[in-house]
Chain A
Amino acid sequence: MFLRSSAIGLVLLAATAAQAADFKWASTTDPQTLDPHAVNSAPVLGFLNNVYEGLVRRNQDMAVEPALAVSWEPIGDGEGWRFNLREGVTFHDGSDFTAEDVLFSYERASNEVADTNSWFAPVKEVKIVDDYTIDILTHGPNPIFPGSIANWMIMDSGWAEANAAALPDKDNGNYATLNANGTGAFRVTAREPGLRTVLEPFEGWWDDATHNITQAEFTPIQNPATAVAALLSGDVDMINPVPIQDAARLKESDEVEIIQGIEARVIMLGFPHEAEALKYGGDAGQPNPFKDVRVRQAVAHAINVPAILATIMRGNAEEASQLVSPAMSGYSAAHADRRAFDVDKAKALLDEAGYANGFSFGLKCPNDRYLNDEAVCQAVVSMLAQIGITAELDAMPVRNYWPELREDNYDMYLLGWSPGTFDAEHPIRFLVTTPNPDKKLGSWNFGGFSNARVDELLPLIQAELDAGKRQAMLDEVTQIIQDEQTYVPLYVQPLVWGTRNNVALTQRPDNFFILRWVNVN
């Protein structure tokens, strides 16, 4: 009996040795959907970059490189771009990749029900030239277009139509929410939302695999301390993020490594610009004070960002003055100062606006999306209390959070924005221009901020080829955003990943975790 069981033990041991490249990783947020066009958020796009591919992709240094397109060139005098597609590429289910799928994915991703449709605001038309050539015509010259579609993932038209998923459904979900069929390096073999997602390498991938993973399993772990414990015990090989407070201690451990960088993500507070009345707190139903620019400025003066960075972020983040971090192109160096922390000034502004006795409202906050998001919101509550305005905090998981914001259920909210194009134009297009579903603009401008000059400048910025003139226009928009206090930018979020020390990987500043760069030794 004893002999037999030890023999089984040996077999098991041998089995684990053979699967040495099994890789497990954990993150706070489960990708809400496997549909690459349903939700435009980093956890979804980052995860699906392992499964689906775009015409172009970003490499380890964020530079654009060919993926499903082998090359591209401008058409005529800024009329658009011609993409020459890769031949011999197959989807996970074996069907061939052709220009048909690109056109289908364009129609799917740019449809008004798709969350990604604002990516295609500059696009006029998509035309198939032949099976492996496609023209994307733009409204005007668009020099940054190829770089702006790295996250536009191509879906198989036949598969989507056969499974009644020709359009994304972000609210109710459909077949593509739970299943995936891309051309990427990994295919999804099991998907249990909120529990685990299993990926296996796709044998028929067109590119050479540089990883040594045989199976990868993703588990969402909402509690950061639990995630750290799982990493330390070896239950998972990688966690993202490492709680900022634990980074210093984990660095001392021999078994794990901390990989740290500055993320492109700016954390900010958003306001309702259109709502007539407050919705929460003691003053629910009263006129919305945040329509007054002085109240918004008072909020900006009331937030002691250095204190948040020193305590909650443990000195691992940088103050933000605008909607992009200094590392992004188009950052406005002329507007690098944020409103100083000044309680008296904040009170004076409130007084001027007629709110000397303060008011009460509701602050919405995610509790599993950004580093220490709930703690930051609590700190905001106590800082606002010091200028006499009472915020009632409602923190919730991100899967409930976006729907609440989309339904305008907030009086103030916390948002983090990472420009997918690594350019200052991106947040203007999504967060600042007047929401316009037809033109696919302002899709994340929940508060409905509207400024005619910004709306006028955006297309000019998009079409401008001269870097100096472009920067001047970006500076002007930044000035408007700061004066109007459209948002209160707080800080640039740090990027802290933790791995077992036998794992080699690449950390990209957009916080995308790309499995094909992982090697388990």
Chain B
Amino acid sequence: MSDLTQKPAPAPSRPSRLAQMWDSDFAYAFRHSPVAIVALLVVLVLFLAALFAPWIAPHNPFDPATLNLMNGFTPPGQPNAFTQDTFLLGTDDQGRDVFSTILYGMRISLFVGISAVLLAMIIGVILGLVAAYVGGWVETLIMRVADVQLTFPAILVAMLIFGIAKGFTPPEYRNQMAIWVLIVAIALSDWVQFARVVRGAALVEKNKEYVQAARLIGRGSFPIMFRHILPNVLSPVLVISTISLALAIIAEATLSFLGVGAPPTQPSLGTLIRIGQGFLFSGEWWILFFPAVTLLALALSVNLLGDWLRDALNPKLR
């Protein structure tokens, strides 16, 4: 790093970091995969739109004072019969602009999804590493718990956790807690994937020379696990977390769709789809259609990106 900055700028013999990355196998694979490029673009656009929702959205759908009920059920792009207001993607039953609700709803979906995956990753990686490194009854215990949990569908586990947590939260905090409970519920239903993959990779790593060397010079278990083994098992974790993100977003949408997730005054994409579903037969298709398409685009592109990442990082397929 330091020698790069000290040298005069044009160094034809040594390409810059960026150029190195550009020439790497990884980037080459990326450049030659139109699916990955499109998926990344879609993900980026949606992420940025969600991140900057307060600046992009025409109004804040979570501020009830700005809503006019008479704007309800305005079709996309057409003026409302009473107020003459026009909305790009129409309005829902409460007169909320569908475009704005999607942007804000995506924020919640992504926030819940990313937080849940991070939490699941932390839990899973720690338990997986410990299981592989310590072995013995600890490993048996952790992995059997994981196996048992795998036999239940993830959404069922999440609903179970959500239900129990809701029972224990005092009613006055339920709405504020809903999002956090949702994150924990999805994370606890998803850690098994991480634990299994990390354990598998770490079992291989733990018998390699560098680990034995580290043991020989007397390093403790924790530094060996987290400083030496962990960096070498991260690439499968990266793949799993991308795929898990798509699953977590769908899990959140499912829970909210079933009415046990995000509260109706703070709708996520799943809640929006649930609201829109009530108008399927009555002709107000846009209330359901646009959030559903957004969810589809988001989950599909994250998933495609994850698939591509798995292939790109798998030396056997190269």
Contact residues of A with B, CB < 8 Å? 223-225, 228-229, 232, 243, 245-246, 248-250, 279-281, 284, 304, 307-308, 310-312, 362, 367, 374-375, 378-379, 381-386, 388, 390, 392-395, 404, 409
Q: Mark B142-183, 1 if CB is under 8 A from A, else 0.
A: 000000000000000000000000000001101100000000
- Residues on A with C-beta less than 8 A from B209 are none
Q: What's the nearest-Cβ distance from chain B to residue A472, in Å? A: 38
Contacting pair A382 B278 (CB below 8 A):
no
| Cα distance, A310 to B63, chains bound together (Å) | 22
Among A225, A279, A381, the residue within 8 A (CB) of B281 is: A225
Q: Mark B253-286, 1 if CB is under 8 A from A, else 0.
A: 0000001000111000000000001111111100
A-B contact pairs, 23 of them (CB 8 A): A223-B277, A223-B278, A245-B284, A248-B282, A249-B282, A280-B171, A281-B172, A304-B69, A308-B69, A310-B70, A311-B70, A311-B73, A311-B95, A362-B172, A378-B64, A379-B94, A382-B64, A382-B65, A382-B69, A385-B67, A392-B265, A394-B174, A395-B264
| Cα distance, A245 to B279, chains bound together (Å) | 7
- Residues on A with C-beta less than 8 A from B279 are 225, 245
- Residues on B with C-beta less than 8 A from A386 are 64-65
Query: Which residues of chain B from 44 to 75 have any CB-CB distance to chain A below 8 Å in the complex?
Result: 63-65, 67, 69-70, 72-73
Task: Classify chain B: how many residues form its interface, as a range.
Answer: 20 to 34
| Cα distance, A248 to B259, chains bound together (Å) | 27
Contacting pair B72 A225 (CB below 8 A):
no
B137 beta carbon closer than 8 Å to chain A: no
- Residues on A with C-beta less than 8 A from B175 are 392, 394
- Residues on B with C-beta less than 8 A from A384 are 64
Nearest residue, chain B, Cβ from A362: B172
Nearest residue, chain A, Cβ from B82: A310
B139 beta carbon closer than 8 Å to chain A: no
| Cα distance, A388 to B64, chains bound together (Å) | 10
Among B264, B278, B284, the residue within 8 A (CB) of A393 is: B264
| Cα distance, A133 to B281, chains bound together (Å) | 55
Contacting pair A311 B277 (CB below 8 A):
no
Q: Mark B106-127, 1 if CB is under 8 A from A, else 0.
A: 0000000000000000000000
Among B65, B263, B264, B277, the residue within 8 A (CB) of A385 is: B65
Contacting pair B94 A375 (CB below 8 A):
yes
B93 beta carbon closer than 8 Å to chain A: yes
Contacting pair A246 B282 (CB below 8 A):
yes
- Residues on A with C-beta less than 8 A from B67 are 382, 385
| Cα distance, A246 to B284, chains bound together (Å) | 10
- Residues on A with C-beta less than 8 A from B283 are 249
Q: What's the nearest-Cβ distance from chain B to residue A227, in Å? A: 10
Shortest 9 CB-CB contacts between residues of A and residues of B:
A382-B64, A311-B72, A385-B65, A245-B282, A385-B64, A382-B67, A307-B69, A246-B281, A246-B282
Known: A245-B282, A280-B172. A225 touches B277 (CB 8 A): yes
- Residues on A with C-beta less than 8 A from B73 are 311
- Residues on B with C-beta less than 8 A from A307 are 69-70
Q: What's the nearest-Cβ distance from chain B to residue A233, in Å? A: 12
- Residues on A with C-beta less than 8 A from B174 are 394
| Cα distance, A228 to B282, chains bound together (Å) | 10
Known: A375-B94, A378-B265, A393-B264. A245 touches B69 (CB 8 A): no
- Residues on B with C-beta less than 8 A from A362 are 172
Q: What's the nearest-Cβ distance from chain A to residue B301, in Å? A: 28
Nearest residue, chain B, Cβ from A308: B69
| Cα distance, A237 to B263, chains bound together (Å) | 33
Known: A311-B69, A378-B265, A382-B64. A284 touches B277 (CB 8 A): no
| Cα distance, A385 to B265, chains bound together (Å) | 13
Among B69, B259, B284, the residue within 8 A (CB) of A379 is: B69
